[in-house]
Structures are given as C-alpha cells and as structure tokens.
Amino acid sequence: MNKKTEAKCNGDMLMVGFHGANPPLIWRFDLERNHSFTLALQGDEGEWELGITTPKGDFYPVVHFVAREDAEEAFAKVEKTLARRNAGMSGVVKAIIGLALVALVVFAGVVGFSLYVNAHGNTALSTPLAGAASAPGAMPEGVPLPADQVLKPPAP
C-alpha cells in the first residue's frame, strides 16, 4: 500500500486511516465536540504514539507506531488536513465579509447619490419633457418668477 496514512475532513468529522500503524486502524474524531485539543507525538525508539492532548494536559494516545518516520508522516498528514479545513472555514468567513463590504459600498453610493441630488437638485429629472402638457396653474420650473406670483394662491 503506497499511502501509510490517509486523512480527510467530512464536515466536522476528521477521518484518518493509519495503514502504517501497529495495528493498522481507522480513526474518526468529531471536531465539533472536541474543538479544543492539541495533536501530539510522543515516545521513544520503537514506541511512538500519536494522540491528542486536552487543555488540561492529559494525553490520550490514538495510534501506535514502531518506526518514527511512520509516526511523523502520520502527524504531518493529520496536521495538513486540519490546516486545510481551517483555511476553508476562513475562506467562507472572508467571502461573507467581502459580500458585506460590497453591500456597504453599494448602500453608501445610493445614499451619497440621493444626498447629492437633494442638495444640488437635478433639473434633468424634474423638468417636464418638451411638448408635455403641465397641470393648469402649475408653476414652471427653472423659470424666474416675481415673488408676488409665487406667493399668490393658484387659480380655482
């Protein structure tokens, strides 16, 4: 068998096949329930154990190896799988933050445009089209009028 250790994450489940262990085994580890742990490699010549250490410092061996190279390969494979899983999670967080920033920029643009239009007026939007009939008694826009005519009530 070419690969002595195969590891992958399926959701919140870490699944590792230790084919070079003594005895070979498959390990399933729930990352959601065990979110705070340290992967550790301990031992001496011929007696290598890969396991987890709890925040309290308790070491729980998972698998036993005779050769240090096999133990280090297994450690590196599990480490790489966990790092890749965490990078994927941060990628989702980055995407959410990116979408929120885009929404914020669009919102700011809309608000800024409406404030600009309100402050400066937009005669292109408020002026009636040429040839369009205006309501009787309506004041023409953009045409200077004497104050008496502006303050006079509209004709009935």
Could you give the CA distance from residue 53 to residue 70 in angstroms, rounded to a whole number?
20
> What's the token pair of residue 38?
């340290």
The verdict on residue 114 lying in a domain is no
No. of helices (H) and no. of strands (E), the chain = 3, 6
Task: Tell me whether residue 146 is in a domain.
Answer: no
Instruction: Judge whether 123 lies within some domain.
Output: no
Question: Judging by beta carbons within 10 Å of its beta carbon (0-12, 13-18, 19+), is residue 52 exposed, middle or buried?
Answer: middle
> Is 45 domain-assigned?
yes
**pLDDT, tens only, 16-56:** 999 989 899 999 998 888 878 888 899 888 889 999 998 89
- Residue 140's pLDDT band (boundaries 50, 70, 90)? low
Residues 6+ apart with CB under 8 A from 28: 13, 14, 15
Domain-embedded: residue 42 = yes
The answer to whether residue 74 is domain-embedded is yes
Query: Is 46 inside any structural domain?
Result: yes
CA-closest candidate to residue 28, choices 63, 4, 55 = 63
Domain housing 21: 5-95
- Residue whose token pair is 């550790």: 40
If pLDDT is split at 50, 70 and 90, which confidence band does 1 have? Answer: very low
Count of the separate structural domains present in the chain: 1
